[in-house]
Amino acid sequence: MYWVKTPGPADLVDGSVFVHGNARLNLTASDIAAFVDAPDAALVFGLRAFEAGDPVDAAFPVWMATLRRRAEGPDAIVESVQRVFPQLVDQGSLAALLEGVFERARALGYRKVWLVPDVLAEPLMPPAMKQVGDRAGKAFELVPTSGMMAFPL
């Protein structure tokens, strides 16, 4: 089972710690200002359960992604996707994270979400992107000159 959490300021313990289940993730002041407090950005965590049927509270954060407004136009950009608990990541958990990022971007009024080349270097990214595109019935757009890819919302 997979879930996505997008913490807001009220979800942080002591103003800087994201707590979920047994995990405590310390966030920097700059990340909080840029992605938690900002009205047009988000810090998105992908969660994974150990066993089928486990509740969301028993899941571990396995991915973290950043979403913010792109410099030009009504689009968002994902510049960072990180493994939080590398031993627990899989294609399904990354696909769930991407879907959560896209849902959040849609809720913020964005038109497209762009992924930078560094994010695309994640080995699980191509199969997760295919899974997300197939489910949504949409294709990712590639800009060969920049190496960036976009997903239309």
Tell me the pLDDT tens digit for each residue of 104-136. 999 999 999 999 999 999 999 999 999 999 999
SS3 of residue 57 by DSSP:
helix
Higher-confidence position of 72 and 64: 64
Please state the pTM of the whole predicted model: 0.93
For residues 22 and 49, the answer to whether their CB atoms sit within 8 Å is: no
CA distances from 107 to 21, 97, 128, 142 (A): 26, 15, 22, 24
Q: pLDDT digit string (tens) for 39-57?
A: 999 999 999 998 888 889 8
Give burial (CB, 10 Å; 0-12/13-18/19+) of 110: buried
Q: Which domains does the chain have, with CATH numbers?
A: 2-152 (3.40.630.30)
